[in-house]
Amino acid sequence: MRVFYFNLFISIALIVGGFLLPPMGIIDGSVLTAVGELLMFGVLAQIPSILDAVRNGKSIKVTKGDSSVEISASGTQDFPGQQ
């Protein structure tokens, strides 16, 4: 969890610094990639917590547009029209 909060703090500091400091030139694509990777480390640090939640019987559902993914510990899925 410390990794998540550390990355969150650094990411917010970079965002605030980007708004407060005047442009010093063109932002290279490698800078944008580095910030994206930094944010991804915070997400990756949460994977053990997510897996523990699933093992403890909680379910996780992610929906984006028409797609949705649900993870549950029971191993069964309920589909509309299935009995």
Both tokens of 42, joined, read 């915070």
Q: Which helix (H) or strand (E) holds 59?
A: none
Predicted confidence at residue 81, as pLDDT, reads 53
Query: Distance between alpha carbon 6 and the CA centroid of its chain, in Å?
Result: 14
Residues in the chain: 83
| Tens digit of each residue's pLDDT (9 = 90 or more) over 48-68 | 877 887 788 887 777 888 888
Predicted confidence at residue 28, as pLDDT, reads 74
Predicted confidence at residue 78, as pLDDT, reads 54
Predicted confidence at residue 75, as pLDDT, reads 53
Task: Find where tokens 């589909």 sit.
Answer: 79
Residues of the chain with pLDDT under 50: 83
Task: Find where tokens 């490698």 sit.
Answer: 30
- Specify whether the CB–CB gap between 15 and 59 falls below 8 A: no
Predicted confidence at residue 15, as pLDDT, reads 72
Predicted confidence at residue 77, as pLDDT, reads 53
Task: Find where tokens 């010093």 sit.
Answer: 24
Task: Find where tokens 């990794």 sit.
Answer: 3
Predicted confidence at residue 21, as pLDDT, reads 77
